Amino acid sequence: MKELIILQNEEVITLGIETSCDETAASIIKGSRKILSNIISTQIPLHQKFGGVVPEIASRKHILNIMPVIDEAVKKAELELKDINQIAVTYGPGLVGALLVGVSAAKTLAYALDVPIIAVNHLEGHIFANFLSHIELEPPFLSLIVSGGHTAIIKMNDYNDFEMLGQTRDDAAGEAFDKIARVMGLPYPGGPEIDKLAKLGNPDAIEFPIAKIDNYDFSFSGLKSAVLNYLNSAKMKGEEINNADVAASFQKAVINALVDKTIHAAKESNFDKIVLAGGVAANSALESILRNKCESQGLNFYYPSKILCTDNAAMIACRGFYKALTKKFANDRLNAVPGLGLLA
């Protein structure tokens, strides 16, 4: 039945729009999983000199970028605007001013083209990036979402049936990477920088503690303080700091917490597939450690191609496609919801 629904819809053209943070992105997909174009205009260089995303600057840049990026996505797909059948747009979570640009563009275009709008939850989009990278992948599976704003273990029972098993109580994993990188003087975003530096260091050099929580929640603020204390006390004592060892040891602590809980959750819930999602999924050590752990435990492991790990609009279009099958469309009253939680 599931396959039938998908096959009947394989001709549908979906435009995806994503502006939740510092990437202005538009993508066209055909049917459920065929990417015709995936345009991402990143603002990272613009925010780098401030050490992080400046919301007001992000919104203004999205306004300048949004229509050229959509035009480019349509052109690259070798289509015209009139060929679009539906528009999927991120409406939360994210920066309110940034989200509003995408939502307004989607509503305007949907009105002009007389096509439906699908309101997409950004976190759900990250999970759906995996369907674009692995066309054979089907729910049910367990997903670990690790991004700049969120860290969560999600049960995905079906395309439109999610359940949160646990999430971070304080910092998200990506946020911890970015904050530690910042105090180490590395550029924004810090995750990829720590990833690179950690390859040169010894992950067993420093024992950083990680919070022990009984359920599937995470906490990274204690680890962050431990790294900050280590750096400050070494500085005060005039001791030389091996930044590569700090990066590798910090990264190991984060990864251990993520991997252990995810494997445990999969076993307890009887899932045999684990799906990694979100910007931190681009971390090479996380990917390889989780993959090895899954293999040794007889679990199948999936993660998206690098370009689909971080924010993009193809994942939003894909999520929109499956949500549209439930006929849950938005209308011209759609608004940005910056604190949006996980929905079903």
Choose between 171 and 245: whose C-beta lies nearer to ligand KG4: 171
- Rounded to an integer, what distance in angstroms lies between the CA atom of residue 240 and that of residue 225? 19
**Could you tell me the smallest distance in angstroms from the CB atom of residue 68 to Zn ion?**
22
Choosing from 16, 201, 279, 320, the residue that interacts with ligand KG4 (CB under 6 A) is 279
16 binding partner (options Zn ion, ligand KG4, none; Cβ < 5 to 8 Å by kind): none
Structure tokens at 142: 């367990």
Least Cα distance to 323 among 119, 150, 143 occurs for 119
- Rounded to an integer, what distance in angstroms lies between the CA atom of residue 337 and that of residue 10? 30
- Tell me the site size for ligand KG4, rule CB under 6 A: 19
Measured between its terminal Cα atoms, the distance across the chain in Å is 20
Per-residue x/- track, 51-90, ligand KG4 (CB under 6 A): ----------------------------------------
Region at 238 (left for phi over 0; alpha for psi -120 to 50; beta for the rest): left
Choosing from 102, 139, 149, 304, the residue that interacts with ligand KG4 (CB under 6 A) is 149
Which sign does the torsion angle of CA 33, 39, 43, 44 carry? positive
Residues numbered 164 to 183 that lie near ligand KG4 (CB under 6 A) are 174, 177-178
- Rounded to an integer, what distance in angstroms lies between the CA atom of residue 44 and that of residue 334? 28
Partners of residue 34 on adjacent β-strands: 30
Choose between 102 and 278: whose C-beta lies nearer to ligand KG4: 278
Residue 282 interacting with ligand KG4 (CB under 6 A): yes
Residue 97 interacting with ligand KG4 (CB under 6 A): no
- Rounded to an integer, what distance in angstroms lies between the CA atom of residue 291 and that of residue 262? 12
**Could you tell me the smallest distance in angstroms from the CB atom of residue 191 to ligand KG4?**
2
Binding site for ligand KG4 (CB under 6 A): 21, 147-149, 174, 177-178, 189-192, 195, 278-280, 282-283, 310-311
